Structures are given as structure tokens and as C-alpha cells.
Amino acid sequence: MAIESAVTEVSIEANLKQFLLVLSVSLSVATLPQVFSWFRQIPYTLLLVIAGLGLALVDVRLVNLSPELILAIFLPPLLFEAAWNLKWGNLKRDMLPICLYAVLGVLISIIGVTIGLNQFTTVPLTTALLVGASLSATDPVSVTALFRELGVDKRLTTLMEGESLFNDGMAVVAFSFLVGLPLGKTQLGFQPVIIELFTVVGIGIAVGGLIGFGISYLTQRFDLPLVEQSLTLVSAYGTYIIAEELGGSGVIGVVTTGLILGNFGSRIGMNPRTRVIVSEFWEFIAFFVNSIVFLLIGDQVRFSVLADNLVIIGVTIGGMVLARVVSVYGLGFLTNKLANSEISLAEQTILWWGGLRGSVSIALALSVPTILAEREELIATVFGVVLFTLLVQGLTTKPLLENLNLLGDQPLRQEYLELVARQSALGRVLEYLDRVDERPGLDKEFCRYQETLIRGELNNLEEKIEKLQNDYPNLREFTTKQLRSELLAVEADTYADFVRSGRLNQELAPLLQDVLGGEH
């Protein structure tokens, strides 16, 4: 027993050292854009992949990725955070295209990759199907982060995130079915596929719904921010584990729970400040997990193995890109006709090129049984394709947005907010100067000189703000919306204070929501 205990302690210490090493490298990379402005041109997650590739080049291996590490540890919080922040109103508007992209898109992707590999390489059909299934899950984290930074229209973000959330589940279901083919455990047929799909998805939705609504009503009974925050974390992992144990899709379960808690539970069971605390907590968790995942993706690359499989990787990329063309443009045309979705060609182009692959694809490839002869070849192919999408497609998305005129006005808004912040700061400085003007021993002339300088700078700022508002009328609408949000926040915080002090028994809906809404 003493020997076993000692071995366990050594193992824990070694794992902790590895974890701290990974974390240190990730956080070091995170500081690069703050120190060197040039790095700000590269999305943070892609910067981590590049750093990981650098470590792989000198053969420094931080941690060995495993499917369990990605699917059971990393994936649930990433899915939950994305679902928590996805507004149901935005999702409902584009539910048809999102569902078509997530379901039929997965099927088209598998077929496209399989045909390419089957026709132009010697890869067996069953292995080609597994490669296609592994690469059918999109992971546009880098692209959507870029969207937010550049102020791209929120609808495009909703389309990409919605498709990614749902097609992760579809890809896992498809892969789980297809992985039995080369082992002789399953037979390809329409009826068994449909039964498997409805069973797995149905169990996932049921488990996610029960846990999501259960926690929503539970949090109505108390107001303990840290407990409510902890419950969301438990629900993310608990839903995944329970759904998988019952034979369902843990991915679909977590997405369902996240959507319910983010859009329903946080409204009926959490006061405004708790919602902010929980949202900031999940923002940190997503940053933390993504930092580790993308660094390790780059660090796991074996360059010699990739070089041996360049032809297969190239064919797979071709099949995947062409399948994505058929999926995005074909299904986009269909939804525009059937539901008048109005997804423009420019937006469809970004959806096509921005459909990156990431951690789910790698996890599925790594989970292929070792008994399969082509396993190493399959893993190398998936790694090569994932790297192509992250580095080539990911780094060229911003220029593509610029060429398609899809960049938002975020830089302009930032400039405006900086001018307003400076104006407010100098206004406070002027107020302070007025208060200390009568202080004994101060040189009156010096005070008046400082006041003149400050007033001159305030006039310059006022002129710049007015010019921006005149040149860009949309800024006036932005400032109006910002003020409206501030007023609603003040009202909601006041109600929360009344609840905490015991003067109110329940949270009140913001009255200004209707009052201000009627003004527009």
C-alpha cells in the first residue's frame, strides 16, 4: 500500500508540473500581443497553435492529447459557454439554415471527403468514411473571436456558432456509428442510421432539458452567486457524463443545458449581478480551456508523419473544401428560397471559408481503436487538415472580410468611446482643479494656466466627437443604444439591491424595457 501511495503521489506531482508548464506557456503567448503590436493581427488561438508548432519543431512535448482529455474534460465547458451566450431570439431566426448546415452539412462533408479519398488514394472506404466523419465538425472559435473584435454583424456569428454547436453532436453520432464498420460491429443502412440518430440525439436533449430546467427552478429558491455559479459548472460536466452513460449524445445534452440556463434559467433564477458573475466566470473558463487546447494541438504535430502523408492530406483538404462549397452555397440557396433567410453571397463565402476544424476532429481521430491498421495514417491526415484550416483559412479570414466589405464599425466605435472617456476624465480633472484652487500656497497663475490647457483640450475633443458623429450617423444610434443599456442596468441593479436588503421578495422585470422600447 505504501508503494502504491508513493507512486500515486509521484504521478500527481508529475501531472501538476506538466499542467503548470502548459499554463505558463499559454499565458506567455497571451501577453505577446500586448508587448508587440504586430501580433495583434493574429487571433489569439492561432497564435497559440503557432507557438505549439514551434515547440513541436524542437521536439518539446508538453502533454499527450487523448480523446478522453478533449471530449470529457475540455469539450463540455467550451460547449456550455458558447450555448450560454447564444441568444435564443437570434438562434430562432436562423434555426432552419443552422439545422440544415449542422445535419445535412455533416452528411455532405463526409461524402465529399470519402469520395475524394476513395477515388484518388488507396485509403480503404471504411477509413475514408472515418476521416470524413472526424472532419465534419466545425470549430470556428478563432473566426468568431475575430468577428467580435472587428464588430462583424452578430448574425454571422450566430450562424457560425449555431452550426458548430449542433454539428459537433451530429459529427460525434456519425463517427460513433461509422467506427464500427471496419471492425464489423455495424452495417451501413438507412434504417439503423436513423434509429441511432434519433435515439442518441433524443436522449441528449432529454437529459439536457431535465437538468437545465431543474437547475433553473432550483436557483429561484435562493440568491447565492457562488453556489449558482458552481451549479452551472456541475451541470456542464454532469449533463455530458449522464447523457453518455445513458447512450445519448453528451454534446447535444450540454448544448441543450447551456441554451436553457443562458436564456431561461439566468432570467428567472438569477439576479442581474449574479448573471454578470456567472458570464464572466464562463468567459474565463473558455479562455483558459482554449488556451490549453490550441497550444496542445500545435504541440502534438509530428512533422515527419505529416510529410509521409502529404498526398492524402492534400486530397482530403480538396474534398473537404469542395464539400463545404456544396454545403454552404447549396443549403444557403435552399433556405433563402424556403424561409427567405436572406443570407447574402458574401456571408455564405465567410461561412464557407471560416468553417475551421479543431479539437473535436482531433479527439475523434485519436479515439479510433488501435486495432485498425490505418489508424496512424488517419490521425496524421486529420492533424494535417486541422492545421491547414487553422493556419491558412484562419489567417486569411480577416482580409476576406475586408474584401467582401463585411467589417463592422467596431474600430470606429472604439475610437469614439476613447474620445468620450478622455473627455469625461478631463472633465473630472477640471472639477478637481476648481476645488483645490483656493488651497493656501498654490500659485493662482499656474492653476489658471492648467485650467486653460485643459479647457483647450476639452474643446478639441468635443470637436472630434462632433465630427465623428456628423461623418458617421450610425454612431448616434450606437450612443443611444448604449445609454438605453446603461439605464436598464441601473434599474435592474436597484431592484437587485432591494431584493438583497429584504425589501422585495422577488426580482422585478425592468420597467424601462417597455417604456424605452415604446419610444422607438
Per-residue pLDDT reduced to its tens digit, 208-251 = 999 999 999 888 888 788 899 999 999 999 999 999 999 999 99
**Chain mean pLDDT for the chain:** 85
- 142 or 383: which leads in pLDDT: 383
pLDDT digits (tens, 9 = 90+) for 152-167: 778 899 999 999 999 9
CA angle in degrees (0–180, nearest 5) for 345-349-352: 135
405 dihedral zone (left: phi>0; alpha: psi -120 to 50; beta): left
Q: Name the percent of the chain lying above pLDDT 90.
A: 37
Residue 352's nearest CA partner among 163, 83, 88 is 163
- Tell me the pLDDT tens digit for each residue of 141-150: 878 887 877 7
Of residues 65 and 70, more confidence is placed in 70
Distance CA 347, CA 74 (A): 30
Bigger pLDDT: 351 or 41? 351
Q: What angle do CA 371, 379, 113 make, to 5 degrees?
A: 105
Q: What is the mean pLDDT of residues 324-330?
A: 96
* Res. 10 pLDDT band, cuts 50 70 90: low
- Residue 62 binned pLDDT confidence (cut-offs 50, 70, 90): confident
If you average pLDDT over residues 281-294, what whole number do you get? 89
Grid cell 473584435 in the structure block, residue:
149
CA distance 282 to 84: 9
Whether pLDDT at 104 is above 80 = yes
User: How many CB atoms sit inside 10 A of residue 94's CB?
Assistant: 20
pLDDT-derived band of residue 308, with 50, 70 and 90 as boundaries?
very high
- Judge whether residue 424 has pLDDT over 50: yes
Residue 488, pLDDT score:
76
Q: What is the mean pLDDT of residues 389-398?
A: 92
Cα–Cα distance between 33 and 39 in angstroms, integer? 5
User: Tens digit of pLDDT for each residue in 459-477?
Assistant: 998 888 888 888 777 777 7
* Residues 22-36 pLDDT 10s: 878 887 887 777 667
Give burial (CB, 10 Å; 0-12/13-18/19+) of 45. Answer: buried
For residues 54 and 61, give the distance between their C-alpha atoms in angstroms, rounded to a whole number: 11
Rounded to 10 degrees, what is the CA torsion of 139, 103, 240, 72? -40
End-to-end CA distance of the chain: 73
Q: What is the mean pLDDT of residues 312-341?
A: 94
Query: Does 183 score more than 70 pLDDT?
Result: no
Q: Mean per-residue pLDDT for 177-184?
A: 75
Q: Mean pLDDT throughout 318-340?
A: 94
Burial of 351 (0-12, 13-18, 19+ CB in 10 A): buried
Residue 338 pLDDT: 87
Mean pLDDT computed over 347-356: 94
Task: Report the pLDDT value the prediction gives residue 9, as an integer from 0 to 100.
Answer: 57
Q: What is the pLDDT of residue 476?
A: 75
Give the mean pLDDT of 66-78: 85
The answer, yes or no, to whether residue 6 has pLDDT greater than 60, is no
Question: If pLDDT is split at 50, 70 and 90, which confidence band does 314 have?
Answer: very high
**Given this model, what pLDDT does residue 160 score?**
92
Q: At residue 408, does pLDDT exceed 50?
A: yes
Least confident of 3-12, 169-178, 264-273, 314-323: 3-12
**Tens digits of residue pLDDT in 434-450:** 877 666 767 777 778 88
Give yes or no for a contact between 67 and 296, defined as CB atoms under 8 angstroms apart: no
Q: Enter the pTM of the model.
A: 0.79
The stretch 90-104 carries a mean pLDDT of: 91
Mean pLDDT of 74-81: 92
Residues 6+ apart with CB under 8 A from 366: 65, 66, 67, 70, 379
Query: 151-183 burial string, b = 16+ CB within 10 Å, else e?
Result: ebeeebbbbbbbbbbbbbbbbbbbbbbbbebbe
Torsion, CA 221, CA 224, CA 229, CA 234, rounded to 10: -60
pLDDT at 17 over 80: no
Residue 4 is predicted with a pLDDT of 52
